[in-house]
Structures are given as structure tokens and as C-alpha cells.
Amino acid sequence: MLNTIGYEGATLPDFLDTLEMAEVKILVDVRDRAQSRKKGFSKTALSNALEERGIKYLHLKVLGDPKEGREAARAGNWKKFDKIYRAVLKTDAAQNALTEITEIISKERACLLCYERDHTTCHRKYISDNIDLQTSSKTRHLGVRKFANAA
């Protein structure tokens, strides 16, 4: 099964708890740059935190939204964003990565990661829609739940 999640506005503990509740076994990072200003969400820190929870981490940079696509999305220029990202998905590298994700979800529960909380304004929806068409499945878009963490 395929899920997607965005970490915008989330804490790392709530993010990890949400993945565990959804029984995610592998997180597929589809950010072009697996860096974040938000503590715990850069590639190394995130992969270490996931490993502690028994969740694998895979970064598929080739499925990332390039800088010009991110800029178009931030500006609300959805037509330009759409054109840029659809061109990314047509590349051989992206097609190979989509095949890799399809193979992963045939064996275990996976989740695509990007920043945006709302999947409808993120390139990960393009990825999940493509995979849904290939596999006749339905992706579940997770929202990070807030948990009452005892501190």
C-alpha cells in the first residue's frame, strides 16, 4: 500500500507516531533536496530517527521537484508548476524510480514524503496518481496527527 505525508507544521515525534500508526515500513523521500530548516527532517537526522522506529528510509532525488517547479508552486503559478513537474515524470530516471516504488509497495507499506501538508499542492500527488493508475490502487494521504506526548 502507498501513503503520502507532508511534515509542514509537524513535530518530529508526531510525524514518527503517525507513520507508526499507519504501519509504514519504508519512507520514500521525494524531495529534490533532502534538507530542511525544520529540526529532524533533514536526510541524516530523519533516516536515523526512522531507523530507531524500525522504518527504512529511501531518498529518490530523481522524483524531486526542481527549483523552478518549487518557485512556481510558491508563487501559485500552478500551470507552470504542472508543466515543469510533468516533464520530470517523463524522464527515464523518474520512470525507473516509479517502477522501484511500485515494486516496493507490492511487498510492504510505503509512504512518500515531502514538505507540504496538503498533498493537492505537492508534486507527491503526481507521483501517487501515476502509481495508482499503474497498479489500480488508491493511495492514502496521511496528515500528521497530534499526539499528547508526555514530556
CATH classification at residue 14:
3.90.190
Residue 123 lies in a domain: yes
Owner of C-alpha cell 530542511: 36
Q: Is residue 68 part of a domain?
A: yes
pLDDT of res. 34: 95
* 127 in any annotated domain: yes
pLDDT at 146: 87
Report the mean per-residue pLDDT for the chain: 95
pLDDT of residue 151: 47
Residue 57 lies in a domain: yes
Alpha-carbon dihedral angle through residues 38, 31, 115, 133, given to the nearest 10 degrees? -160
* Residue 149, in any domain of the structure: no
Contacts of 78 (CB under 8 A, 6+ apart): 72
The pLDDT assigned to 147 comes to 81
- Decide if 150 is inside a domain: no
pLDDT tens profile 80-115: 999 999 999 999 999 999 999 999 999 999 999 999
Residue with more model confidence, 146 or 61:
61
pLDDT of residue 149: 59
pLDDT tens-digit series, residues 18-28: 999 999 999 99
* Residue 6 located in a structural domain: yes
Number of domains in the chain: 1
Which of 117, 88, 113, 91 has the alpha carbon at shortest distance from 2?
113
In a domain, 147, yes or no: no
Range of the domain at 129: 2-142
Give the model's pLDDT for residue 112. Answer: 98
Statement: residue 150 has pLDDT above 50: no
Neighbour tally for 29: CB within 10 Å? 22
